[in-house]
Amino acid sequence: MKILGIETSCDETAVAVVEDGQHVLAEAMASSLDMHAKTGGIIPDQAAREQVKAIIPTIEETLNQLEQKTGSREFDAIGVTKGPGLIGSLLIGVETAKALAWVWNKPLVPVNHLIGHVYANYLNITTEPPFPYLTLIVSGGHTDLVVVEDHGNWHWIGGTRDDAAGEAFDKVARILNLGYPGGPAIERIAQGIPTNKHHVPRPMLHSGDFDFSFSGIKTAMANLAQQVGQDQGKQAELAAAFQEAVAEVLVFKTVKAARQYSVKSILLSGGVAANKRLREHLENEAQLPIAMPAIRYCTDNGAMIAAAAYYNYQPIAWQSMQAKPSLHF
C-alpha cells in the first residue's frame, strides 16, 4: 500500500509517498527555517503564509518523483498531521489533504505528529523493533516517554514539566549567540570539546518518576554565560557541558523506565534524536536493542507521517477531519 504523507505542523512543508510503511518512494520538502533563523525563532503567521505557498508545489514535486520511480502517479491513501502544532500551519496541510481526498476519492488518515516521529524508526529498515518498546520522543515542543505495546496501543509514562529538550537547545543557543535552530548549532560547536569544564545541573535525575525539567538548566546556562564571558572557546565549553547534561538526564531516565516496564527495545524519536551525543549515550547505556531514525528523518518530514498512517490505518470521512493544535496522546 502506497500512502501520501503530508506534514505541515510547523515550519516545514513536507510530503512523501511511502510503500507499506517502510519504503520511501518519493519525498519533497520546503522549509521556512531560513526566514525564522533571521528572527531567532518561529513567527507562526509567517510560517503559515509560507505553508500556503509551498503546499501544492511540494505535493506536485513528490508525485513527479513517484511517477519517475514507479511509472505512475497512483497511490492508495493520504495521511496527514492532525496535531499538535501551530494552528495556521496545521490547517494548510489538513485542508489540502481533505480537498485532495475528496477530488481524488482517497481514504484519509489523521496522524498524531508525535506518533509520526516514532514511525521515522520504520523507514528504510530491515527488521521491525520488537514490542513492547519504550520510545523517548524529544522534539522542539515535546519531551515524552511512551510505552508502546503494539501499533495504536501506547501509554504515556512521563514527560517534561516545563520546557521541551529541543526548546532548551534553542534557548541556550540563543543565550550563547549561536543562532536558530539551536540543536544543530550547539552540536556543531561542542564537537570534540571537553564536557567537564563547567558544572551544569542534572534536574530531576533522581526524582523517582519519569518526568523531566529543562527550564532550570536554561537559567543555569544564562548565569554561567554571564560569569565566564562569551569568547568562542568558552562558548564551546558551555555548549558541550550543556549538551552532556541534557543527554545524560534523557538517557538515564529512559533506561530506568525501560527496565521498570520490561520492554524489549528502546526507540529514539523526534528532532533532538538527531543529536550524536544523545545517540552515543543511548548506545552505551541501553543494554537492550535500540533503534533511532536516520538523522534526516529525525526532524519533521512527510515520510514518517505516511509510515504512521500505514501502521495505524484508520481512515475517517474527510468532512470530520479537523486540525487539533493541542493534540497529545
Binding site for ligand KG4 (CB under 6 A): 10, 139-141, 166, 169-170, 181-184, 187, 270-272, 274-275, 299-300
Classify 323 as helix, strand or coil: coil
Residue 187 touches which of Zn ion, ligand KG4, none (CB < 5 to 8 A by kind)? ligand KG4
24 vs 77 by CB, closer to ligand KG4: 24
Is residue 89 part of the contact set for Zn ion (CB under 5 A)?
Answer: no
30 vs 100 by CB, closer to ligand KG4: 30
46 vs 70 by CB, closer to ligand KG4: 46
d(CA 67, CA 64): 5
96 vs 139 by CB, closer to Zn ion: 139
Whether a cis peptide bond, with omega within 30° of 0, leads into 181 is yes
Interface mask toward Zn ion for 162-181; x: CB under 5 A: --------------------
Dihedral of CA atoms 155, 160, 162, 168 in degrees, nearest 10, equals -130
C-alpha cell at 128: 521491525
| Sequence-distant (≥ 6) Cβ neighbours of residue 220 within 8 angstroms | 200, 201
65 vs 269 by CB, closer to ligand KG4: 269
- Residue found by looking up cell 526507540 in the block: 267
C-alpha cell at 270: 523526534
Minimum distance from residue 296 beta carbon to ligand KG4 (Å): 11
198 vs 277 by CB, closer to ligand KG4: 277
Stretch that binds Zn ion, among 137-145, 195-203, 273-281, 303-311 (CB under 5 A): 137-145
3-state secondary structure string across 183-222 = HHHHHHHHCCCCCCCCCCCCCCCCCCCCCECCHHHHHHHH
Stretch that binds Zn ion, among 76-84, 134-142, 164-172, 181-189 (CB under 5 A): 134-142
Q: How many residues bind Zn ion (CB under 5 A)?
A: 2
Minimum distance from residue 120 beta carbon to ligand KG4 (Å): 9
Going across the sheet that includes 290-291, the strands are: 153-159, 143-150, 133-138, 265-269, 290-291
Which whole-number Å values give the CA distances from 182 to 44, 172, 199, 259, 310, in the listed order?
18, 7, 20, 32, 32
Residue 116 touches which of ligand KG4, Zn ion, none (CB < 5 to 8 A by kind)? none
Among 65, 139, 235, 275, the residue binding Zn ion under the rule CB under 5 A is 139
Residue 182 touches which of ligand KG4, Zn ion, none (CB < 5 to 8 A by kind)? ligand KG4
Stretch that binds Zn ion, among 65-73, 274-282, 297-305, 306-314 (CB under 5 A): 297-305
DSSP output for 56-91: HHHHHHHHHHHHHHHS----SEEEEEEESS-HHHHH
Evaluate whether 173 touches 242 at the Cβ level (below 8 Å): no
63 vs 112 by CB, closer to ligand KG4: 112
d(CA 196, CA 241): 6
17 vs 239 by CB, closer to ligand KG4: 239
Residue 236 touches which of Zn ion, ligand KG4, none (CB < 5 to 8 A by kind)? none
| Sequence-distant (≥ 6) Cβ neighbours of residue 147 within 8 angstroms | 132, 133, 134, 154, 155, 157, 257, 261, 263
Residue 163 touches which of Zn ion, ligand KG4, none (CB < 5 to 8 A by kind)? none
C-alpha cell at 169: 537547545
Residue 50 touches which of ligand KG4, Zn ion, none (CB < 5 to 8 A by kind)? none
Is residue 300 part of the contact set for Zn ion (CB under 5 A)?
Answer: yes
Give the footprint of Zn ion on this chain (CB under 5 A): 139, 300
